Chain A
Amino acid sequence: MKEELFISGRNIPNVDPYLNIWHWQIPIYLYLGGLAAGIMFFAGYFTIMRKEKDMETTVKWAPFLVPGALVVGLFALFLDLKHQLYFWRLYTTIRLESPMSWGAWTLMLVTPLSFIWVASYMKELFPKWDWKFNILNKAEALAIKYRKSMAWAMMLLAVVLGVYTGILLSAFNARPLWNTSVLGILFLTSGLSTGLAASMWMSKSKYERKVLSRLDLIMIGIELFLIIHMLMGFLAASEVQIEAAHLFLGGEFTVVFWVFVIILGLVFPATLEVLELKGFHIPVWIPALLILIGGLVFRFVMVEAGQITRFLY
């Protein structure tokens, strides 16, 4: 027999029998952050490539989702805090070694930028829109003049935001499931993919949908590659990580992961998108919705499964 037990009656709330201190708020926040990063990245990219006319939805309409997504995500994060009155302490210091500090400041930069981007297109998309104050009109003219710089800033910050959602988890080596450097780029790719899916769904132009669909296929391909290699990496690592990988290979998360994240969230939408590109008519909302839901389920699974894995006991 080989047994290791607490015999002093330890049963700390949220820590025993396994860590469960982060609940739905964190996966929602990670998901919305990734989605916002995806939309912003491609809005900036197509602006720099001077394709705003062809990719109108991606550049002008889809970014309308970003401010809302970020605000809701930040609110979810605020709800998760247990000492909420002191949340402002986050912004009194920059701690370079703490990914959470990175995230707080990146969001501080990204959220206003996304608002400004959306505001700069308001008159173009809603001709009757009136800012009412002269200073806002001047600010809008300034924003329109510097759109290209904003696009570069958005692309850069979107990458930082996307990678941050993954690095936030992978910084906690104490949770073996998260102790992999793949998580940063994996969550970025997943975020880009969900952003593309959202833009694709909103778009009315066949050309735009085709371009986004092709990019999305590349993203899904990369994501599948990274997930497979993440699992392979775990299986080749130390005992705690082999056990962590087994949560997805026969353990309690096997079904949810493979059915809802891999098959329904990645492989099946990719198949539908390939069929669409080959000429079969697929209603665009089906692969888009599946990818969006798959991304959300993925975050939920990673946060919950990660807290179950541990070094000791």
Chain B
Amino acid sequence: MDTKIVKKQQPKYINPYFGGILLGLLLLAAFFIAGRGLSASGAVKLLVVTVVDKVAPAHAEGNAYYSKFIPADGSSPLYNWLIFGAIGTFFGGMLSGAIFGRLKKLRVEHSPKISARTRLIAAGAGGILFGIGSQFGRGCSSGAALSGTASLSFGGLIVMALMFGIGYVFAWFFRKLWI
């Protein structure tokens, strides 16, 4: 039995500007490799479509929104670049967290002023609103803002501008959840 000092690291974070450049390069690579951009809400949407198709296939077929994402050849809607991108993001983030000391015990991160439960409820409510909004706006922060503006889509630009703009406006009302 040899003694080993487990490296207790300080969590390391990358310079945000540098990180942004890397993310942009990654987006470029995504266009090059997969022929399309990134979208986290898109991956979630495909999950929803799969579940609806499993539970109520007739309803899914008849609905204009769902039927667009159900492939005609019978394969799963999950057989899509976005899903694998999301899986890769999850594990890549985990790997990065492990190497740079950010991977700790599973916990809910929240402001010390509120409880974990409040944080989860607020996250859930916000998530629902964001889900509705992202589908109306055809994209989220990665789909419309990143990939949309990368392809100079005017709609993407508007979604991004309003997403962050309205966020700034409403931040004042929810500041107690954070500071």
Chain A residues within CB distance 8 Å of chain B? 207, 255, 259, 264, 268, 271-272, 275, 279-283, 286
Contact = CB atoms under 8 A, between A and B. Distances in A.
B1 A280 contact: no
Contact of B84 (A259, A268, A283, A286): A259
Interface string B82-120: 001001000100110011010101100000000000000
B87 A259 contact: yes
Contact of A279 (B5, B95, B103): B5
A283 B97 CA distance: 11
Contact of B98 (A259, A264, A275): A275
14 contacts: A207-B1, A255-B84, A259-B84, A259-B87, A264-B87, A268-B91, A268-B95, A275-B99, A279-B5, A280-B98, A281-B6, A281-B98, A281-B101, A281-B103
Interface string B18-40: 00000000000000000000000
A275 B99 CA distance: 8
Interface pairs A-B: 4 shortest CB-CB: A279-B7, A282-B98, A280-B98, A207-B1
B175 interface: no
A286 B99 CA distance: 14
Interface residues of B, number: 17
A163 B91 CA distance: 32
B33 to A, nearest CB: 14
A97 B112 CA distance: 69
B84 A282 contact: no
A270 B20 CA distance: 30
B94 A286 contact: yes
A267 B48 CA distance: 30
Interface in B117-163: none
A207 to B, nearest CB: 5
A308 B101 CA distance: 46
B103 A282 contact: yes
Nearest to A290: B91
B6 A279 contact: yes
A249 to B, nearest CB: 18
B142 to A, nearest CB: 20
B79 interface: yes
Given A272-B98, A280-B98, A264 B91 contact: yes
A280 B87 contact: no
B4 interface: yes
Contacts of B84: 255, 259
A280 B79 CA distance: 34
Nearest to A252: B75
A283 B103 contact: yes
Contact of B95 (A207, A259, A271, A281): A271
Nearest to B84: A259
Contacts of A272: 95, 98
Contacts of A271: 95
Contacts of B103: 281-283
Q: Which of A207, A281, A286 has the most CB of B within 10 A?
A: A281
A281 B103 CA distance: 8
A255 B83 CA distance: 12
